[in-house]
Copies of this chain bind each other. A is one copy, B any other.
Amino acid sequence: MLHKVSLGVRDISKYRLLLAGELIDELERLAAELKGVRICHINSTPFGGGVAELLSSYIPLVRDLGLDIDWQVIYGDRRFFSITKSIHNALQGGDGRFIRGEETQRGYKSQSLLNAQEMDRNYDVFIVNDPQPAALPHFSDEAQAKWIWRCHVDSSEPNEEAWQFLRPYIEEFDAAVFTMSKFVPPDLMGPRIATMPPAIDPFSSKNMPLPRTLCRELLQNLGLDPKRPLIIQVSRFDQWKDPFGVIRVHRMVRQEVPGLQLALVGSLAGDDPESMDMYAAIHREVDKDKDIYVFSNLTGVGNMEVNVFQTACDVAIQKSIREGFGLVVSEALWKQTAMVAGNAGGIPLQMSGKLSQYLISSEEECAEKVLYLLQHPDIAAELGQEGKEHIRQNFLMPRLIKDELSLIKSLLQD
């Protein structure tokens, strides 16, 4: 049997305090119509990474709506996950990273067959996340159920060879869901296509409201001066997030705002030599600079500290050059923090209206916007408010639940 992740139930009615009651009413109506339908999410890991984080918030809320929803995790050995990781990277257009060869592909197929045999099939709808379990419908003889593939990466320009290997499996699904319509590979034929951006959990430790005094104290205890202005970037230590660009932006702005502090906050995996090297290089660069701070999970900085930084800073930067969806933008805006961010991936979706004036494409532009916001705190506050409202309406969990349940309903009506 595949492993089922045990999760409790979380009170969806808490969202009535945040959202118009109509949305929750609508969710309850949808759930009533789907009463008795058994739904199962499938992915490759119960912990670590954005998908597991999302499912951990999402499933307990759907259960509270009275629906029967579970989460199964596929098995795989090192070889299997090497090939799925290479498919994953190749889907995002990574060059030359797709593991070629009949033998590795046989490994993917045989492990998928095993997983198909081991899975609990007593469900009416399967939602299969990302490429790792994507061959399950092919190897399962479960023809009664509806199968949905949920792609969480930017697959708009996939490595051709990897995509042609994966595509026949995807085309066996009843529906394929992408984060944004521009992420849909152009030659995908067969499944119904839907788009659903991800969402944040406003009650998680990363997003829950924290007292201002606590935030100030934490900054002080981490060595920062809560009385001086602070800009931050929260991101993986990765070239596409351009941390060195952020450091240069800080140095430009500091000429006009003496004492300006910068905190780079992120997480990294010890088994990822690229990000470890970059982390060490950043440390070497900024350890000489007493206004720049670097924090990571390696020094015990977790979700609550990220929350503190996003809540307490004056301006948040997300200087991405390439981006998937960039949900960290929603996290910062949810705290009414003004944001200056790269015009990449899903970031523009999250910065509509006046916020879109703070989408940037160069270091100079970034520095200019950050400086302007630091010098005009009233405008920064307005933007923060507008941002929070935009996230409230579009990027909280209930909207994602509505999207997914609506798709399930329409598939079952076919």
Cα distance A228–B208 when bound, in Å?
22
Indicate if the CB atoms of B270 and A53 lie closer than 8 Å.
no
Q: Mark A172-207, 1 if CB is under 8 A from B, else 0.
A: 000000000000000000000000000000011110
Number of interface residues, chain A, beta carbon within 8 A: 51
Residue A296, interface by CB 8 Å: yes
Stretch at the interface among A124-132, A245-253, A297-305, A349-357: A297-305
Q: Mark A261-299, 1 if CB is under 8 A from B, else 0.
A: 000000101111000000000011001111000101111
Indicate if the CB atoms of A223 and B301 lie closer than 8 Å.
no
Copies of this protein in the assembly total: 2
Among the interface residues A5, A52, A205, A306, which one has the most CB atoms of the partner chain B within 10 A?
Answer: A205
Residue A8, interface by CB 8 Å: yes
Main secondary structure of the interface of A (DSSP, over half): loop
Residue A7, interface by CB 8 Å: yes
| A interface, CB within 8 angstroms of B | 3-8, 10, 46-48, 52-53, 56, 60, 203-206, 208, 210-211, 214, 217-218, 221-223, 267, 269-272, 283-284, 287-290, 294, 296-306, 308
Could you show 28 A-B contacts with beta carbons less than 8 Å apart? A3-B287, A5-B287, A6-B287, A6-B289, A46-B283, A47-B283, A47-B294, A47-B296, A48-B299, A56-B299, A204-B221, A205-B221, A205-B300, A205-B301, A208-B221, A210-B214, A211-B211, A211-B214, A218-B304, A269-B270, A270-B272, A300-B302, A300-B306, A301-B302, A301-B303, A302-B303, A302-B305, A304-B308
